[in-house]
Structure 1
Amino acid sequence: MELGKMQKLKVLRKKDFGVYLGDIDGGDDEHQSVLLPAKQVKEDTQIGDILEVFIYKDSSDRLIATTVKPLIEVGKLEVLKIKQFSKIGAFIDIGLERDVLLPFKEMEGEPREGDKVLVALYVDKSQRLAATMRVYKYLSSTHDYKKDDNVSGIVYRVRDIGVMVAVGGKYFGMIPASMVYDTYRPGDLVEARVVKVRDDGKLDLSTRQKAYIQIEADAAVIEEKLNAAGGRLNIGDKSEIVLIKGCFGMSKNAFKRAAGYLFKNGKIDIGEDYIQLKTQ
């Protein structure tokens, strides 16, 4: 029997309060059996029948079986909801009567009640099921993605070097710091483009499309910001990168391409330290 996993077990004994299950190839040792409560036992169940169950621990810390398939198993990754916080961590809904603890030391960032976050399920030192947001070791670099593929993922860690993304919920991905144009926190969903497949299979990502595709969207952002500011902003060709990124959420090169596009179409004037809408 394996804690935290779906498995097939054999009915060893029947009682009024349920049936005891054991390994298919094992004996009838009561110390190597687990109870499946009567409310989950079908009327026609007989000794020797094979049932598929999930093994966890009840509120009294006793092994218990259920025929309900949980939302996650040990060693697997899933996006699950934080139900509530306690003094020792937060409780994650795994689809069973009993929730699983996400200890504070296993959290990334500052998750909040109601957040959906990427977690892995594991068995802790006290032989209880627990959840972790530190999912790096559970991710894989074996995939079929290639450069310029569009992918979806979930943020699981934010660091100075970039934003770590679990692509498809299972593969290593990162938005390098130089390509981060927004604020992210663990649990955020992202749509991105693969800009590089590293030798080790890890993916470098960008939330922006290729320049010729992105330029119209960037130009629309600049126009929107100008309209909101009354038609003029003190940002131009020679402005600092941090100022451009903070205002428009794009790199200096992207800003110049989009501003040039607007200028050629007669929509703006631009100087070293300003940009403004042309009066009609």
Structure 2
Amino acid sequence: MYKGKKQVRKSIATSRLQAGLTLNMTVSRKSEIGYFLQAGDDEVFLHRNEARGPLDVGEEVEVFLYHDHENRLAATMDLPYVGLGEYGWLEVVDLSARMGVFLDNGTKKDLLLFLDDLPKLRDEWPRPGDRLLVTLKRDKLGRLLAQLVTEEEVTKISAPADERMKNKTVEGTVYKVIAAGAFLLTEDEHILFIHRDEMTERMRLGQTVRCRVSYVREDGRLNGSMKERKEVQYETDADKLLRYLVNRDGAMPYTDQTEADIIREKFQMSKSSFKRALGKLMKERRIEQVDGWTKLIQHEEA
């Protein structure tokens, strides 16, 4: 299920205790450093640091089972934000180049998303403060790990959008990065895709961005862009060139014949955007190109 505010609790009957279970257990005995809890014939230890105050023998408590830092099955009364069989957004709290990223799941031990489940490019990894849509899984040794949302599950979670969304500004969080672009889930749980050509920066898993809806597909999914609408972008690029010319006393050695890599380095825009901006300014009779230079046209004052 998709993680809302309510936590789904699991119970056990005769099954063995495993990490990831949230269940009610009874305090069977005490020790100097904690409590032994029992459910059926199974017993697990609850450290005093993981209890919410003193407990009495015979008292029933709700706990979450996990493996502690010494890889022993243990209990905590800090219940997780996301449990087994649930999906939810968890915040990234730390990175490890050797292991992966660690997520805050509401317990003292952070949850690991293993590096094999992360993008191959390190600059597409999430950063601390980013959020990932995950569930829990167990590895071969029964230890808990995070698992990214599957495409099948995000389809169940998502809601279709309608045509009224076109050109609206939305906020979304990246749940998947591919070579062609990034998939986001918006605040209203619409699936939105941003092609790399429509990005203003390389996007990473878990990043939250604001973008414009450029197209609403028949299936209710959205295409988005981090760039301004073309007519607005033309105006922005043209203003940028005018400011550059003014700061250079009205002339620059760049024209529509200048190499694309030079244009990108000098103006942080593509050659086609540069040519469109030049064309707009020439049409308005604000600039001219002379002998390989672009110059401001000085209009005589009336």
Question: Is the shorter-chain TM-score for this pair beyond 0.5, marking a shared fold?
Answer: yes
**Contact residue 101 and residue 130 of structure 1 kept, 8 A:** yes
User: Equivalent residue for 1:129?
Assistant: 144
RMSD: 4.1
Q: What displacement does 1:86 show?
A: 5.8
How far residue 20 of structure 1 moved from its aligned partner, in angstroms, is 1.8
> Which runs of no fewer than 5 residues in structure 1 stay unpaired?
22-27
How much does 1:250 deviate?
Answer: 5.6
**Any conservation in 2 of the 1:78–1:169 contact (CA below 8 Å)?**
no
Q: Report the secondary structure of 2:194's partner residue.
A: strand
Identify which of 142, 159, 162 aligns with 2:159.
142
Q: 2:30 aligns with which of 15, 21, 36?
A: 15
Q: Distance in 2 between matches of 1:11 and 1:227?
A: 78
For 1:262 and 1:4, locate their aligned partners in 2 and report how far apart those are by CA, in whole Å.
66
Shift, 1:29, TM fit:
0.7
Of the candidates 36, 42, 51, which is equivalent to residue 46 of structure 2?
36
Look up the match of 1:25: none
Does structure 2 retain, via aligned residues, the 8 Å contact 1:85–1:113? no
Using the TM superposition, give the Cα deviation of residue 99 of structure 1 relative to its aligned residue in structure 2, in angstroms: 2.6
Which of 85, 89, 96 is equivalent to 2:96? 85
Deviation string for 1:124-183 (max 9, x for gaps)? 332222134575454243255622221122344443422333434965321124433443
Query: CA shift at 1:206, angstroms?
Result: 0.7
Instruction: Flag structure 2 segments of 5+ consecutive residues without an equivalent.
Output: 1-9, 12-17
Secondary structure (helix, strand or coil) at the match of 2:116 reads helix
Distance 1:142 1:99, change over 3 A: same
- Gap change, CA 1:84 and 1:179, over 3 Å in 2: closer
Q: Which of 186-195 and 60-69 deviates more?
A: 60-69
Query: Shift in Å at residue 110 of structure 1?
Result: 0.8
C-alpha displacement of 1:9: 2.2
Cα distance change of structure 1 residues 215 and 117 upon mapping to structure 2, 3 Å threshold:
same
CA-to-aligned-CA distance 1:168-212 (integer Å, 9 cap, x gap): 496532112443344333344321111122233322111123334
> Alignment identity in percent?
20
Equivalent residue of 2:54, what SS? Answer: coil
Partner of residue 217, structure 2: 198
Q: Compute the TM-score of the two structures, normalised by the length of structure 2.
A: 0.66
CA distance in structure 2 between the aligned counterparts of 1:45 and 1:150, rounded to whole angstroms: 55
Letter in 1 for 2:143: R
Aligned residue runs from structure 1 range 58-207, under 5 A:
58-70=68-80, 72-74=82-84, 75-78=86-89, 80-81=91-92, 83-85=94-96, 87=98, 89-94=99-104, 95-108=106-119, 109-110=121-122, 115-119=128-132, 120-126=134-140, 127-132=142-147, 136-140=151-155, 141-144=158-161, 146-168=165-187, 171-207=190-226
- Offset from partner CA, 1:71-102 (integer Å, 9 cap, x none): 54444243532524264x12404253323333
Q: How many residues align?
A: 269
| 261 and 34 in structure 1: CA distance in 2 versus 1, 3 angstrom threshold | farther
C-alpha distance 243-29 of structure 1, shift in aligned 2 (>3 A)? same
Q: Could you say which residue in structure 2 is the equivalent of 1:232? A: 252
Distance 1:228 1:84, change over 3 A: farther
Distance 1:122 1:142 in 2: 23
- Matching residue of 2:236: 217
Does the C-alpha gap of structure 1 residues 58 and 211 become closer, same or farther in structure 2, counting only changes over 3 Å?
A: same
CA 1:260–1:91 in structure 2 vs 1: closer, same or farther (change >3 Å)?
closer
Partner residue of 1:249? 269
Which of 57, 61, 65 pairs up with 1:55? 65
